[in-house]
Amino acid sequence: MKKKSGLLARFMLAFASIWLVSCDKDFNSLGADLVNDDFMDVAVYSNTSGIESGYLKTGAVATNKLALNNLGAFTHPTLGNSEYHFVTQLALDQYSPDLGQEPTIDSVYMYVPYFSKLASTETSGRRIYTLDSIKGTGTFDLKVYENNYYLSSIDPNATDGVRRYYSNDKPNFDSNKGAVLNTSTNLVQNAQFKFDNSEIALFKRNENGELLNSEGNVISESAPYDQKVVLERFEPGMWLDLDKTYFQNKIFNTNSSNLSSFQSFSNYFRGLYFNVTQDPANQGALATLDFSKGYIQINYSYKNENGDVFKNTLKMTFTGETVSLIENQYTNLPQTSTDKLLVVGGGKGSGATSTDGYITYIDLFGKDAGNGIPEQIDILTNYNWLINEANVTIYVDQDFIGADPKYVPQRLFLYDLNNSSVLVDYSNDTSSNTSDPKKNKGVYSGLLVKSDDNGYYYKFRITEYVKGLIKSQTPMLDAKNKYRLGLSVTEAISLATFTPLLNELAPLTVKQIPTGSVISPLGTVLHGANTAQTDKKIKFEVYYTNPN
């Protein structure tokens, strides 16, 4: 009985403490939170008032040398159409190669692996994979051109000397494209290209290209998998058979000086231009790829001085300058308002109807308290609480975006907009997810939460960031803007870099946006600070201990 009475006394004391603090500010809501056995010392400060938010068009953005690139044509079920094109330089795996006498190309293929995971292996030996980072299951028209527009890494007119290429540079490559190289009669390699999760296998064949079994007998193309002799396996990827005649003339019949160094080769053969066209008959598809892992392989025969025939290979890798060209045509975007927020990846393209990427800004801590410090930071300082945890929660507008999470970004990125830098909580979070690296930094988070009670939302932990603001208490002439947060989509949470914009974003003087936003092809609509759905307003929460 004595133990029960003590517990009741502790509960009443905690309740009284919380009630007194909640009366201090009419925009606060405080409640007990059981964090440890000494629960009477822990409470939560929650605020949705005084927060301001909005969103901005990014305009064109630099897209050269991105870590990942998108390729494809895709219709988002809510927003509209997207086309992502790609340009890359090439490098030989050996310069001044000895090709032997009378070198003749037998075949040329391109391979770029997709992000995939091995799911199972059938009894026949065929491996089954699941694909990641691919949106849509339809087809689109893919043409791989020789690029004749020279890509340079140096710009003497730029302050840093770096030559940049932008999301709206497509006309430069359209007017300087050469021959089409993916000319296979197999339409899934060009006019009806599709991202396939099938394992790619090279089988044993005779000189006529006919399949052979383990006894050397000819078998049909439709023979069971386990009757075929596998010479080489590839994980699912883009496989294109390229024009042999073109490469015979371009590589094997050229002056040897053109193959003597990367500089000579990249000026002579200026790379590839991957151009896509939407197929109006279907949704299309879009993939995020690591082109640095792809290559072109030339298989050829040559003779020695005795006339003996030998086989050899020559490889070209996607090395040097790369450019992502973006053409979004979003036709179903919310009108600019304070009750909704829009975050969309990519950047503005060159087309007359091309739409922008979008970033959101959030003034989480309210207006200037009169001393150059944002109101919320000033309040937390005056209370002298010990901050255990601080979070910001942002809700998805499911009435607008729909209930299907398939095309809702699985992650958003919260950052210091004014300084174009990551938050300290992002930097301090070293947590990792070995099975799914996209879920690294799970403490800082920003992952989509699919809650039946609250709807979809994103939550970020900003504990150390808030502690730092309280500790520094540095007055600023424009406190609200200087403490402004940015919010963007991201396809790769581990990317902590920022990418230059073609033009500064007025009136916020933003010159860079997160690189992950440029890479991500997805977007979403969020509830803003002034949404009519009060339970979906942007929420700032602090879990604290009151030492008094």
pLDDT in tens, 386-414: 999 999 999 999 988 876 777 889 999 99
Between residues 192 and 437, the one the model is more confident about: 192
**Looking at residues 498-506, what average pLDDT do you find?**
92
pTM: 0.88
Check if the beta carbon of residue 42 is closer than 8 Å to that of residue 32. Answer: yes
pLDDT over 70 at 22, yes or no:
no
- CA–CA separation, 365 and 540 (whole Å): 8
State residue 23's pLDDT score. 38
Number of H helices and E strands in the chain, helices first, is 10, 33
Mean pLDDT value across residues 36-53: 78
**Strands (E) located in 440-509:** 445-451, 455-461, 485-489, 498-505
Residues 6+ positions from 500 with CB-CB distance below 8 Å: 61, 62, 164, 511, 512
- In this prediction, residue 313 carries a pLDDT of 97
- Give yes or no for residue 117 having a pLDDT over 90: yes
Share of the chain above pLDDT 70, in %: 90
pLDDT of residue 333: 83
Higher pLDDT, 451 or 193: 193
- Is pLDDT at 427 greater than 50 in this prediction? yes
pLDDT confidence bin for 21, thresholds 50/70/90: very low
Predicted pLDDT at 112: 98
CA distance 343 to 359: 5
Going by pLDDT thresholds of 50, 70 and 90, the confidence category of residue 15 is very low
Q: What is the mean pLDDT of the segment spanning 317-327?
A: 97
Residue 337 banded pLDDT, cuts 50, 70, 90: low
Least-confidence region, from 55-59, 147-151, 470-474: 470-474
Which three-class secondary structure state does DSSP give residue 299?
strand
Q: What is the mean pLDDT of the chain?
A: 89
